[in-house]
Amino acid sequence: MEYTIDIEGLEKSHGTKFKLGPMDLRVPTGSIYGLIGPNGAGKTTTIDLMMNMGREDAGDIRVFGKHHREDVVAVKQEIGYVSPDLNFDAWGKVRRLLAYVRKFYSNWDDAYCAELLDKLDLKPSDKIKTLSFGGKIKLGLVVALAHRPKLLLLDEPTIGLDAVSKQQIFSELLAAVRDSDRTVLISSHGLADLERFADRIGFIRDGRLLLEGATDEVVQRYCRRDYSFTGSAPSGREGFIVQQVEAGRVRAVVDQDAELAEWISRSGLTEIAKAPMTLEELFIALAKEENGDG
C-alpha cells in the first residue's frame, strides 16, 4: 500500500498546556481519511505542522515521500488547504483572489475553477467580505481544488454550512478522489458525514492517536451492551466504558476486540441487550471517557 502522508514519532508541545504525540499517522493514497477528536486534541496542530506552519519538536513528516520542510515548495504545490481561519477579504472580489492565487500554480485549471464556482453558487463578481461564513468556506474549497492538487488538507471544511452546502462540498470531495492518486485528510466534527464518506478514521485524544482503521471496521468494533448485576456496580476499565448504572442494570460501550469475557464473568454481569453504534455515538462515548464522565 502506498501512503501520501507518512508521519512517524511526531511531537509538538505548546508550553506546559498541551503536547502532541508521540504520534504515527499513515494516510493511504487515494483515500478519504477522517481525523476526529475533541476540541484541543491536536487535529489542527497536526495539519498545521504538515503545512509547515510551526516546527515539530521531534518526529518525521513526509508527504508524497518528500520531507515537508526540506521540500516545502514542491510539497505545497501539490496540496490544497482549507481552514475556517483563512481570510480572503483583502482581495475584495472573488475574481481578484482567483487571479492572484492562480499565479502560484502551473497546473491551475480555469475551466474547472469556473465549474466549481457554479456548483457552489459563487460568482467572480461576488464581494468576499459580504459572503456568508459558509460562502467563504466554499470559496476556500474552490481555491484549494482549482489547481487539482494530489492532496487535500481540510480543517473543519463544513463548519457553518447548511445541509445542502455540506452535500455540495462532499460531492466535490468524492469527485476529487475518483482519481486513485488523489487523497483527502479531513478534520471535522461532522461525524455523520464522515461515517458515510471517509474510507478510514483516526481518533485523536489528548495529543495521541488512540484508534485508527477502516471506518466500517472501527464502528463495528464497538457496541452498546446492557447487563444485569447483583451486588456492587461495576466500574469502567479499558474496553468497557460505563455509560449508565441504575437498579441492578448497567449500560456500557464495549470494545469487542478486548478480551473481557473472563472479567465480565467475574464481575457478575449477565448480558440482556446489545445494539450497534454510530460513529457519532462512539465519539461521544470516547470523549466522555477522556473527561471521566462515563
pLDDT for 293 equals 42
pLDDT for 291 equals 45
Q: Which domain holds residue 226?
A: 219-291
pLDDT for 214 equals 96
pLDDT for 292 equals 41
Answering whether pTM is above 0.85, one says yes
Q: Does residue 200 share a domain with residue 257?
A: no
Buried b (16+ CB within 10 A) or exposed e, 211-242: bbeebeebbebbbbbbbebeeeebeeeebbbb
Which residue positions in the chain have pLDDT lower than 50?
291-294
If one counts the domains in the chain, the total is 2
Q: Does residue 177 share a domain with residue 246?
A: no
Q: Does residue 258 share a domain with residue 186?
A: no
Q: Residue 172 is part of a domain; what is its CATH number?
A: 3.40.50.300
Asked if residue 30 is part of any domain, the answer here is yes
Asked if residue 145 is part of any domain, the answer here is yes
Of 156, 179, 206, the residue at which a domain comes to its end is 206
Q: Does residue 172 share a domain with residue 223?
A: no
pLDDT for 125 equals 96
Q: Does residue 257 share a domain with residue 202?
A: no
Asked if residue 107 is part of any domain, the answer here is yes
DSSP string, the chain: --EEEEEEEEEEEETTTEEEEEEEEEEETT-EEEEE-STTSSHHHHHHHHTTSS--SEEEEEETTEETTTTHHHHHTTEEEE-TT---GGG-BHHHHHHHHGGG-TT--HHHHHHHHHHTT--TT-BGGGS-HHHHHHHHHHHHHTT--SEEEEESTTTT--HHHHHHHHHHHHHHTSSTT-EEEEE-S-HHHHHHH-SEEEEEETTEEEEEEEHHHHHHHEEEEEEE--SSPPPPBTTEEEEEEETTEEEEEEETTS--HHHHHHTT-EEEEEEE--HHHHHHHHHHHHHT--
Q: Does residue 146 share a domain with residue 110?
A: yes
pLDDT for 179 equals 61
Q: Does residue 146 share a domain with residue 224?
A: no
Asked if residue 251 is part of any domain, the answer here is yes
pLDDT for 192 equals 84
Contacts of 245 (CB under 8 A, 6+ apart): 233, 234, 251
Q: Does residue 76 share a domain with residue 200?
A: yes
Q: Does residue 192 share a domain with residue 235?
A: no
pLDDT for 100 equals 95
